[in-house]
């Protein structure tokens, strides 16, 4: 729960409006419910002042739609005024489950389509909003963030384009490389993580988990996720380890160099519970091979904590790996589209981020420090203490 008392003396930047793009309708609805609850319960001496009209509403969702022509071209249309509003646009560029017609053929929206619709919405605002904030949990083209030859820098170009269109802030989660913000060094860019929500989901559903150096270790599946693992292990007070991906750089398959082997660097894991933390599950080959090797090294249980469960190649490999005891649970957030079938799997746990996201929006609207909503070490320590004492979390 955010420290909402910090908002009782803060003034909003402008009336709040939330746009949940079609790709993020479900998440946007839950975020809106929390915003309504926050503002109904908050005590603010000026809440009923005429100057604060719109501070407390039954809904903050804005009525806008993106229409398509038969050729696949589109446009954004607002059905209400957004003049002077503090606008928050929530978009999930990874939602592939939205179809549209192109010359009579059924097509599914790609990240490029979602990004183009986002720009259409921004263009339809036409400079009327007081401030435009884009909430893009999975940062568009975030895996194409650096140049290693004659290739494009898609993520940097997208950020420059958004700010050129009038966007004030981009809010994202667990960016593949947060240093991409250097492409727009004078613009607002906030990158959040889901460590607290991972622990909350894990501790609520695994009652016999022991979090200490004797029983638990946090593992990074590759060198790119080391900083996440080190932070998480430090907060939990446990050891950490990592796998090094040895790749064949003479070959490119599916746009990347194939992995030849995973080499483990770390302490003895015999009989310990393993928490693997990463930002993305795409095909799952890498993280499942890591989990398999850990079980061969006599790990007790393996828990996979991943911010974005994309599952680009389906769930068959995960079903097979679970049946063969390569891992025990997968915890992913609801920040991106999840295959409907995954929620019925015995190994799946969801870390709900809607409440956290609502608090980010609320504090941002009041121009209050995000230090009041980001996950501090003390907050994770508190939930661990309650768990160890078997109190209700």
Q: Concatenate the DSSP letters of all residues of 53-94 into one string.
A: TTSS-S--B--EEEEE-TTS-EEEEESS--TT-EEEEE--TT
Mean pLDDT of the region 362-390: 78
User: pLDDT tens across 282-308, in order?
Assistant: 988 889 988 998 999 999 999 999 999
Closest CA to 115 of 187, 23, 178, 209: 23
The SS3 assignment for 128 reads coil
**What is residue 207's predicted lDDT score, i.e. its pLDDT?**
85
The confidence score (pLDDT) of residue 118 equals 97
User: Which of helix, strand or coil describes residue 189?
Assistant: strand
Q: How far apart are CA 276 and CA 197, in angstroms?
A: 15
Does residue 245 surpass a pLDDT of 80?
no
Return the minimum-mean-pLDDT range out of 19-28, 72-81, 200-209, 255-264.
255-264
* 74-78 and 64-68 beta bridge pairing: antiparallel
Mean pLDDT within 341-367 = 93
**What is the 8-class DSSP label of residue 340?**
G
pLDDT of residue 1: 47
- pLDDT score recorded for residue 46: 61
pLDDT digits (tens, 9 = 90+) for 150-160: 888 999 999 99
Q: Tell me, what's the pLDDT at 51?
A: 63
- Give the model's pLDDT for residue 24: 95
The mean per-residue pLDDT over the stretch 20-33 comes to: 96
pLDDT at 256: 62
Residues 59-75, mean pLDDT to the nearest whole number = 92
CA proximity to 236, closest of 192, 202, 269, 205: 202
pLDDT reading at 279 higher than 60: yes
On the 0-12 / 13-18 / 19+ scale of CB atoms within 10 A, 104 is exposed
**pLDDT over 80 at 67, yes or no:** yes
Pull the structure tokens for residue 275: 């928490």
Q: Alpha-carbon distance 285 to 328, whole Å?
A: 16
Stretch 338-349: mean pLDDT, rounded?
Answer: 93
HSE, CB side, 13 Å, CA atoms: give it for residue 83.
1
DSSP labels, 200-254: HHHHHH-TT---STTTEEEEESSGGGHHHHHHHHHHHT-EEEEEEEEE-TT--BT
pLDDT range class, residue 143, cuts 50, 70, 90 = confident
pLDDT class of 387 with cuts at 50, 70, 90: confident
pLDDT grade, residue 334 (50/70/90)? very high
pLDDT of 228: 85
| C-alpha closest to that of 306 among 346, 349, 341 | 349
CA distances to 67, 120, 203, 310 from 377, rounded to whole Å, are 45, 40, 16, 28
Tell me the percentage of the chain whose pLDDT exceeds 90: 56
Residue 211 burial (CB count, 10 A): 18
Mean pLDDT of 126-148: 90
Q: What is the pTM of this model?
A: 0.90
pLDDT of residue 392: 46
Check: CB of residue 101 under 8 Å from CB of residue 107.
Answer: yes
* pLDDT above 80: residue 246: no
pLDDT tens readout for residues 164-198: 999 999 999 999 888 888 889 988 999 998 988 99
What's the pLDDT at 208?
86
Highest mean pLDDT among 25-34, 259-268, 278-287: 25-34
50 pLDDT higher than 70:
no
Task: Please say if the pLDDT value at position 21 is more than 90.
Answer: yes
Q: What mean pLDDT do residues 363-390 have?
A: 77
Tokens of 305: 């904590």
Closest by Cα among 286, 273, 276 to 225: 276
Instruction: Please give the Cα distance from 70 to 173 (Å, whole number).
Output: 35
* Interval 219-233 mean pLDDT: 84
Q: Hey, which residues does 188 pair with through a beta bridge?
A: 169
Least confident of 81-90, 206-215, 298-307, 368-377: 368-377
Q: What is the mean pLDDT of residues 120-139?
A: 94
- What's the mean pLDDT when you consider all of the chain? 87
Kindly report, residue by residue over 73-116, the tens digit of the pLDDT: 999 999 999 999 999 999 999 999 999 999 989 999 999 999 99
CA–CA dist 355, 357 (Å, integer): 5
């Amino acid at each position: 729960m955010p420290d909402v008392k910090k908002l009782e003396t803060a003034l909003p930047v402008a009336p709040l409006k939330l746009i949940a793009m079609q790709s993020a309708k479900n998440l946007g609805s839950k975020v809106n419910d929390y915003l309504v609850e926050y503002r109904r319960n908050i005590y603010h001496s000026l809440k009923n002042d005429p100057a604060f009209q719109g501070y407390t509403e039954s809904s903050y969702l804005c009525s806008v739609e993106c229409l398509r022509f038969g050729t696949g071209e589109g446009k954004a249309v607002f059905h209400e005024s957004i003049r002077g509003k503090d606008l928050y646009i929530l978009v999930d560029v990874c939602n592939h489950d939205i179809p549209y017609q192109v010359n009579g053929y059924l097509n599914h929206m790609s990240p490029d389509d979602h990004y183009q619709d986002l720009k259409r919405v921004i263009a339809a605002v036409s400079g009327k909003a007081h401030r435009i904030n884009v909430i893009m949990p999975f940062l568009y083209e975030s895996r194409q963030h650096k140049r290693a030859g004659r290739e494009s820098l898609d993520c940097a170009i997208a950020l420059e384009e958004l700010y050129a269109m009038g966007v004030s802030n981009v809010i994202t989660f667990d960016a593949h490389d947060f240093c991409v913000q250097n492409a727009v060094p004078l613009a607002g860019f906030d990158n959040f993580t889901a460590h607290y929500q991972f622990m909350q989901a894990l501790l609520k559903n695994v009652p016999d988990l022991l979090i200490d150096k004797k029983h638990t270790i946090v593992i990074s599946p590759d060198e790119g996720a080391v900083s996440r693992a080190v932070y998480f292990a430090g907060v939990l007070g446990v050891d950490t380890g990592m796998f090094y991906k040895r790749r064949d750089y003479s070959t490119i398959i599916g746009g990347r160099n194939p992995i030849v082997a995973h080499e483990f660097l770390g302490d003895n894991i015999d009989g310990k519970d393993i928490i693997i933390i990463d930002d993305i599950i795409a095909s799952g080959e890498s993280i499942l091979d890591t989990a398999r090797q850990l079980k061969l090294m006599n790990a007790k249980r393996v828990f996979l904590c991943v911010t974005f469960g994309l599952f680009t190649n389906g769930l068959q490999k995960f079903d097979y790996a679970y049946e063969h005891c390569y891992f025990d649970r997968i915890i992913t957030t609801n920040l991106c589209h999840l295959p409907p079938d995954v929620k019925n799997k015995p190994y799946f746990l969801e870390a709900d981020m809607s409440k956290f996201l609502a608090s980010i929006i609320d504090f941002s609207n009041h121009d209050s420090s995000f230090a009041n909503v980001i996950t501090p070490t003390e907050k994770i320590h508190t939930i661990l203490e309650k768990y160890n004492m078997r109190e209700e979390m």
